Amino acid sequence: MSALDSTAHFYALLQFRGRTAAWPAAAAAAAALEAGKSKIKGSAGLVSSEASLPGLQMAAFLRYLHVVLCVQASLKYLIEFCYTVAQKYLFEGKHEDAVPAALHSLRFRVNLYGLSSVELVPAYLLLAEASLGLGRIVQAEEYLFQAQWTVLKSTDCSNATHSLLHRNLGLLYIAKKNYEEARYHLANDIYFASCAFGTEDIRTSGGYFHLANIFYDLKKLDLADTLYTKVSEIWHAYLNNHYQVLSQAHTQQVDLLGKLFENDTGLDEAQEAEAIRILTSILNIRESTSDKAPQKTIFVLKILVMLYYLMMNSSKAQEYGMRALSLAKEQQLDVHEQSAIQELLSLISTEDRRIT
């Protein structure tokens, strides 16, 4: 897909999702900013202009300020939207499709925050990851250097941003087969993510996952297995919490109006794509050794069942559920394990009947 096609695809996605309402104002603001007619100074809400503001009447000035604040809100919305779209494409392995969204996220961030703001770092990291996926290592290094330099100059960089920076540096060194440097940066990723979110948070699990991949490639299978298990347990705890709430709601029939219960993962589209990529990768590894530890394979299958069920993709949920049940019977696991899987499948079937 060419760059032009990718951009057209991105705009089509914007229109399809019904998110274009804020686009005209934001586009106009970006054009005005580029022409040097106005400047928005971030969250402080300060405005400087070539126009002589003291000469304006108070009512006109207030209307002008209202427009500026609306443009700020529109830009912030589009920054977040473009970032999520780019992330989703990256987790799905669609690196070229991610580039237009990442570039737009960067452009809007520059317009809103300026060229030296640490707020630009997440967009640089998206572009670096997309470049790595396309095999453009030198270009990825340039984006990462810019991100590093911006962080070094900043006095208020968050732990979450430090985590993302080190994760992408880890991915760069994995691509360059420099596993020692990769492990160093991924260890820092886990540290900063733990400071920001906690050691058992799904946003920290990505660092564990990439570190596990390194140990797996180095044939240090015990270390890899420990980390894959930790990642699986983190996602199980998160998804099981949402699943249990929904399951109890169905059991207690709390919806007295008879409306359908709305399944919800609590994740945005990018995080759902990340969960699918991580869990299916672990499943492939588990299935290659399922004769040695079938319980671990079934555990990951059950997590995928919950994920797809909460995403309202019942066909995929049933597929993974049947695979888990078949493996449990084949390995002659205890009745309790088989009953738990059948309970999952029963709930999925019940939900299907409600919808149809």
Shared-domain flag, residues 147 and 104: no
Which domain-ending residue is among 82, 114, 146?
114
Return the beta strands (E) in the chain as ranges: 38-41, 46-49
- pLDDT on residue 223: 96
Amino acid identity, position 302: K
Residues contacting 287, CB < 8 A, separation 6+: 297
Domain annotation covers residue 129: yes
Provide the Cα torsion 45, 126, 220, 292; round to 10°. Answer: 100
Domain annotation covers residue 23: yes
Among 230, 237, 239, 236, residue whose Cα is nearest residue 211 = 230
Among 41, 49, 50, 115, residue whose Cα is nearest residue 75 = 41
Shared-domain flag, residues 99 and 162: no
Which domain-ending residue is among 199, 215, 249?
199
Domain annotation covers residue 222: no
The Cα 137–Cα 103 span in angstroms is 18
3-state helix, strand, coil in the chain (%, to 5): 80, 0, 20
Among 124, 29, 11, 37, residue whose Cα is nearest residue 74 = 29
Shared-domain flag, residues 123 and 100: no
Contact by Cβ (8 Å): 197, 204: yes
**Domain span at residue 295?**
229-355
pLDDT digits (tens), the chain, 356 positions: 444 455 555 554 554 444 444 444 444 444 444 444 344 444 444 444 444 545 546 677 667 666 777 878 888 889 999 999 999 999 999 999 999 999 999 999 999 999 989 999 999 999 999 999 999 999 999 999 999 999 999 988 999 999 999 999 999 999 999 999 999 999 999 999 999 999 999 999 999 999 999 999 999 999 999 999 999 999 999 999 988 877 676 555 544 444 444 457 889 999 999 999 999 999 999 998 766 788 999 999 999 999 999 998 989 999 999 999 998 888 887 778 788 888 888 878 876 666 55
Shared-domain flag, residues 22 and 52: yes
Domain annotation covers residue 224: no
pTM summary value: 0.78
Taking the CB of residue 91, how many other CB atoms lie within 10 A of it? 21
Shared-domain flag, residues 82 and 70: yes
The Cα 259–Cα 242 span in angstroms is 19
Shared-domain flag, residues 233 and 347: yes
User: What is the number of structural domains in the chain?
Assistant: 3
Amino acid identity, position 299: F
- pLDDT on residue 233: 97
Among 256, 351, 255, 251, residue whose Cα is nearest residue 311 = 351
